[in-house]
A and B are shown apart, each in its own frame.
Chain A
Amino acid sequence: MKSAFSLTYKSLFIVYLIVSLLLTSLLLIGVYYCQTNVEDLELAIYSRELGIAKAWMRLSVTYDGRYFTNLMQGLNPLVYNSVMGYKWMVFAGFVLFNFAIFSVVKACFSGVKLFYVLIGTLSFSAFYFQQCGSLAYALYWMGSSFVYLYPSIFLLINIVLFIAYVRSSKPKLILFIPLAFSLFFGIGCSELYLPFYLFLSLFLPLFIKKNYPDLLVRVIPLCLLMVLGIWFMIASPGLGFRFDESQLENHLNTAILVSSVENYGIELLTLINFPFFLLIFLSASLWKLSNWSFGHVFKSFNLGWILFLFLVLPYLMSLPYFVTKSSQYDYPVRVYIPIVFVQYVLVFFFIIPTVLIKYFEYIKFKSIYNLSCSFFLFFFSIQICIGKGQLGLLFEELLNKKMEIFDTQLTNRYVKLESSKSINSEYVLVNCDTLKDYPRSMFTHPDKELNRNTTKWNKFIEGYFGIDEIKAIEDTTNRFMFFKCYNK
């Protein structure tokens, strides 16, 4: 009976591996087909024309306080005139994300064979992307990934480096420096992480003082840097512009708080789905296979703390958005991308091991476990096949060739625009198709507009490629060209 259970248990991991490999391949196919949108071009012009430092300063001063994101807007292939390099940037983000998960799984579930660590990594990544809310914002739109993917990468790197830093026999500068930078950069990606790091900077020294007083002296500089990072972002003059439109009391009222709670409720309900259950089972399995060495740390957390970390802390993370966007009452998909991630990390690396250690230390993995896991894996696969969730949508748009058509159309457009740079003409006019349809899983507006309705997006394409005008065949007006030529 035991061997039968063990056999099923192992074969389940094989199924996990196959499913996660297929889904990783699907995500990589998405990377192959993704394309830049005009806002990326706009920000690239900015850095190209003014230089990285000046562009960074201007964004910090006039737009927002996301200092690391603003820095990344100047450090990408688009700034160096490589439109095709965009895909490599997205690829790098995806690889970094998986590498960061791999490092944390390896550090937390010590003693687990590399094969299982790999399964844990790929599965975590696939489950998260299935539930992230929008793959376009979370991964395929480079500018957005600096805000929604990179802070997650930094959070994972912070965990690994922190474990190494506090576990070393002596405090080592060589471990502290990367951790300090990683913490500081992680805070500077998105204001949504501010409550998380603020909580950490207050809670960590108290926890360490109570349980590991010898380590307090090591942790204090980290907390100082966290507070500094938070202050640096909040005190950034650019953040003030977000409050410009109305008075502060308009941002802090009951309607906004109610809206934030309602939206958070929707997020929680959406979260409770097959990938999330699979994540729980996967965490329990890896915990079972590992010689878990954080038992003494996690035992000090009671149920109240677990509920606070899972329910209240993620909610607090959404508040910076609701406070600054007082007129927004729709469900903000983007805002919940990092929140889902934090909940995933907490459940996978902390809550499930803690619950198992505290309440089910002697739990026996019975056949019911295998059965439940198989059940959830089956329905998760069905979900994707019928186009549900983000990976399902990606799969559907791959099958109906939306991604391929979109990629071909935009590649042709950019090749045409690139080649038009060398045209020696009084007035360089480039006719390009307008996107009528695009894969929702990997692209979002802005794009070139018909008849230059709002005028600004076309201008950025023209600015980036140094042409006079980009037009669509469907355009019904020539007024822009007329004015321009007339004034020549």
Chain B
Amino acid sequence: MKQIYFFTCLLIGFIIYIHFQQNCQFKTYDYLLSIGRDLGNRPLVSDKFDKKICRNWFCFDASAVGNCDSSVNRVTLDKGRMELIGKVFNEFTILTESSELSNDSLKINLVILKRNPIKLKFVLIKSNGSWIIDDIDNMEMVFQYIQFYKSKFS
């Protein structure tokens, strides 16, 4: 009987450990309010052109990174929030507007911003230290942006 209880404790410990791992990940994803939500809640895994780049960009709720003005389809970036996201995503380059990370800037040169429920979507491209903001009408366009900026900057 001792063995059974010991095994139960081991299993409980392991599951609690996994749960904390999940929560740790969740803190990360909490900022990613819609990872590829347009692709059905899945990460963006696209065709062969985009394979290399696909893990380096995500969809963000615009409010997670800046202040949205839906009337003009603009996002004013909040540096503090951007840095916070960058810290959580330690596997990615910290998102800042400064040029201090210019060597790595290509890693994260594109962010899709999405604001629910208005369904406004923005593409945010970092290029030479400045951010270009566009709104897009569908996900196909996103791929075009990726293609375009990849060929231009890589």
Contact = CB atoms under 8 A, between A and B. Distances in A.
Contact of A224 (B8, B19, B42): B8
A467 B47 CA distance: 6
Contact of B29 (A43, A61, A455, A466): A61
Contact of B5 (A57, A221, A236, A460): A221
Interface in A180-221: 180, 184, 217-218, 221
Contacts of A63: 41
A297 interface: no
Contact of B38 (A217, A235, A456, A480): A456
Given A61-B22, A171-B1, A455-B139, A46 B7 contact: no
Interface string A250-267: 000000000000000000
Interface string A457-471: 001101100111000
A459 B23 CA distance: 30
B103 interface: no
A54 B22 CA distance: 11
A58 B43 contact: yes
B147 interface: yes
Given A61-B26, A62-B35, A463-B46, A176 B4 contact: yes
Interface in A29-55: 39, 42-43, 45-46, 49-50
Interface string A13-39: 000000000000000000000000001
Interface residues of B, number: 39
Contacts of B92: none
B154 interface: no
Contacts of B148: 487
Size category, A interface = 35 or more
Contacts of B141: 483
Interface string B89-124: 000000000000000000000000000000000000
B138 interface: yes
A218 B39 CA distance: 47
A263 B9 CA distance: 41
A-side interface mostly = helix
Contact of A235 (B19, B46, B151): B19
A480 B151 CA distance: 18
A483 B144 CA distance: 7
B45 A484 contact: no
A218 B1 contact: yes
A232 interface: yes
A184 B11 contact: yes
B48 A46 contact: no
A60 interface: yes
Interface string B20-40: 011101100100100100111
A237 interface: yes
A246 B144 CA distance: 34
B71 interface: no
B143 interface: yes
In this complex, the member of A176, A241, A460, A463 whose beta carbon has the largest number of chain B beta carbons within 10 angstroms is: A463
Nearest to A64: B41
Contacts of B151: 487-488
Contact of B1 (A217, A225, A455, A466): A217
B12 interface: yes
A385 interface: no
Interface in A411-467: 452, 455-456, 459-460, 462-463, 466-467
Nearest to B32: A62
A177 interface: yes
B48 A466 contact: yes
Given A57-B22, A232-B15, A456-B39, A173 B7 contact: yes
A487 B147 contact: yes
Given A466-B47, A483-B140, A483-B144, A42 B4 contact: no
Given A184-B11, A232-B15, A237-B22, A50 B43 contact: yes
B4 A221 contact: yes
B3 interface: yes
Contacts of A45: 42, 45
A459 B25 contact: no
Contact of B4 (A171, A184, A237): A171
B8 A225 contact: yes
A307 interface: no
Nearest to B149: A487
A230 B23 CA distance: 16
Contacts of B18: 232
25 contacts: A42-B39, A42-B42, A45-B42, A46-B43, A46-B45, A50-B43, A57-B22, A176-B4, A177-B7, A221-B5, A224-B8, A228-B15, A232-B19, A235-B19, A236-B19, A237-B26, A237-B29, A455-B140, A459-B139, A462-B47, A466-B47, A468-B48, A484-B144, A484-B147, A486-B144
Given A58-B25, A60-B22, A173-B4, 14 more contacts: A42-B40, A49-B43, A50-B43, A57-B22, A62-B41, A171-B1, A221-B7, A237-B25, A237-B29, A456-B139, A463-B45, A479-B140, A484-B144, A487-B144
- Rank and list the top 3 A-B pairs by shortest CB-CB distance, nearest first: A237-B26, A221-B8, A487-B147
